[in-house]
Structure 1
Amino acid sequence: MVNEFKQFIMKGNIVDLAVAVIIGGAFGKIVTSLVNDILMPVIGFLLGRINFASLKIVITEATGSVPEAAIRYGAFIQSIVDFLIISLAIFFMLKVLMKLRKKKEEEPIAPESPPEPSNEEILLTEIRDILKSR
């Protein structure tokens, strides 16, 4: 069972998937930072100095040790912008990959030249030619 597990883990697809998940997680953090720290402040400034992170509808105020219950639609808007940017980046990456794959498929395959005859074949051919000439 251990050997089967090793074979399963060492397959190229599993290793590629693991790398993709790690890179995807890091990419998600970068996009989240881009949206939260760069884009949303600029968009908020252009829309009249709105801080999207603080946009919410308070259902019940905080009392004592009970926190407030609120619908934080500003954070939801930021998550939508995150999703759109990640989707756009994936779309462009897939578009480039498909274009590269299409080019690779379109490349003409050069016909293979016949392999060089071995020394034995050359000698046998010479012997045949000598016997024919007699």
Structure 2
Amino acid sequence: MVSEFKEFAMRGNVMDMAVGIIIGGAFGKIITSLVNDMIMPVVGKLMGGVDFSNLFINLGDGDFATLAAAQEAGAATLNYGAFIQSAIDFLIIAFAIFMMIRAMNNLSKKEEVEEAPAEPSEDVVLLREIRDALKK
């Protein structure tokens, strides 16, 4: 059983998947930073200075100026600003992955076209016909 697991784990597809997961995690952090630190402040500024990370609906008693104050008081909140940021994260990641897969598909199509054998020249065809005639 150990040898079967070792054989499974050492297959190329499993190793490729592990590398993909690790790179995907790092890529996700980069996109999250891009959205939180660069895109959302610009979108918030264009929308009149709105800070999306601080948008919430208080479901409990009391009135809180910020999400941090509501969370510190232990109030139940509906954090729709965080949801908006996560949705934008997802859209950017999905688009980036789409573009990457599209580029990989285009590269593989070009390789397939290049691998197709070229038609023989007229000289080669003529020589083959002569060879076949001489064999008869």
TM-score bracket, shorter-length normalisation? 0.7 to 0.9
1:68 paired residue among 75, 82, 91? 75
Could you say what the CA RMSD is over the residues aligned between the two structures, in angstroms? Answer: 2.0
1:109 paired residue among 114, 117, 124? 117
Cα distance in 2 for partners of 1:72, 1:27 equals 25
Larger relative contact order (C-alpha < 8 A, sep ≥ 6)?
A: 2
Question: Amino acid of the residue matched to residue 56 of structure 2?
Answer: K
Q: Give the structure-1-normalised TM-score.
A: 0.77
Cα distance in 2 for partners of 1:109, 1:39 equals 49
User: Is it true that 1:8 corresponds to 2:13 in the alignment?
Assistant: no
- Deviation (angstroms), 1:5: 1.0
Structure 1: tracts of 5 or more residues without a match: 112-134
The alignment partner of 1:53 has SS state of helix
Q: Judging changes above 3 Å, is the alpha-carbon distance between structure 1 residues 17 and 106 closer, same or farther for their aligned structure 2 residues?
A: same
The alignment partner of 2:77 has SS state of strand
Structure 2: tracts of 5 or more residues without a match: 63-69, 120-136
Cα distance in 1 for partners of 2:99, 2:32 equals 18
Cα distance in 2 for partners of 1:29, 1:106 equals 37
- The alignment of Structure 1 onto Structure 2 pairs a total of residues equal to 111
- Deviation (angstroms), 1:6: 0.8
Percentage identity across paired residues of the two chains = 54
